[in-house]
Structure 1
Amino acid sequence: MQTRELETEIKELLISSLALEDLGPEDIDPAQPLFVEGLGLDSIDALELGLALQKRYGVTMSADAQEVRQHFASVQALAKFVAAQRTL
């Protein structure tokens, strides 16, 4: 799967799993931060998104909080993480 396709899928997953109905995939910059500034998501959103990613792509997150923060930094970072997990 192409990176852009995966980024678009992840944007759609973000919108549906976090009920961000006022946004479309085109409204989310793949490089913008997901937490605090950027989309302004919080820790509950992170849990919901993590579960949605696990269901959709079968990826698992490590217990290392720093590593998880890096994966959840942006849509681009999530796409890289999902792509890497798929090749394992």
Structure 2
Amino acid sequence: MDLKQELKESLIAQLNLEEVTPEDIKDDAPLFGEGLGLDSIDALEIIVLLDNNYKLKIGNPEEAKDIFYSINTLAKYIEENRA
């Protein structure tokens, strides 16, 4: 399975997005605000997901905003930092 598809499915499961399918999440659409509508609690859940699934820790909360912008930016971060 491709990383972006895996991320979409993981986000849906981790955040209990029952009304959302992977097809609903556009790769370049914002995950927060007007995009998927996630909030700061969801951001904490994404941090846990990155740690559990990919053994990645976000050190700087300011970085998280850019990393969590979209599926594309999340996938890029994982690819660049995965062991």
Q: Equivalents in 2 of 1:75, 1:60: separation in Å? A: 17
- 3-state SS of paired residue (1:31): coil
Instruction: Return the TM-score normalized by structure 1.
Output: 0.88
Q: Does 1:73 align with 2:69?
A: yes
Deviations 1:5-30 (A, max 9, x none): 10101101110000001111111001
Q: Equivalents in 2 of 1:70, 1:49: separation in Å? A: 13
What residue is the counterpart of 1:46 in the other structure? 43
Aligned pairs, how many? 83
Alignment of 1:1-88 (within 5 A): 5-63=2-60, 65-86=61-82, 88=83
Alpha-carbon shift at residue 66 of structure 1 (Å): 2.5
In the alignment, residue 65 of structure 2 is paired with which amino acid? R
- 3-state SS of paired residue (1:46): helix
Q: Which runs of 4+ in 1 moved over 3 A?
A: none
Q: Gaps (5+ residues) in structure 2?
A: none
Instruction: Return the TM-score normalized by structure 2.
Output: 0.93
Q: Gaps (5+ residues) in structure 1?
A: none
Q: Percent identity?
A: 45
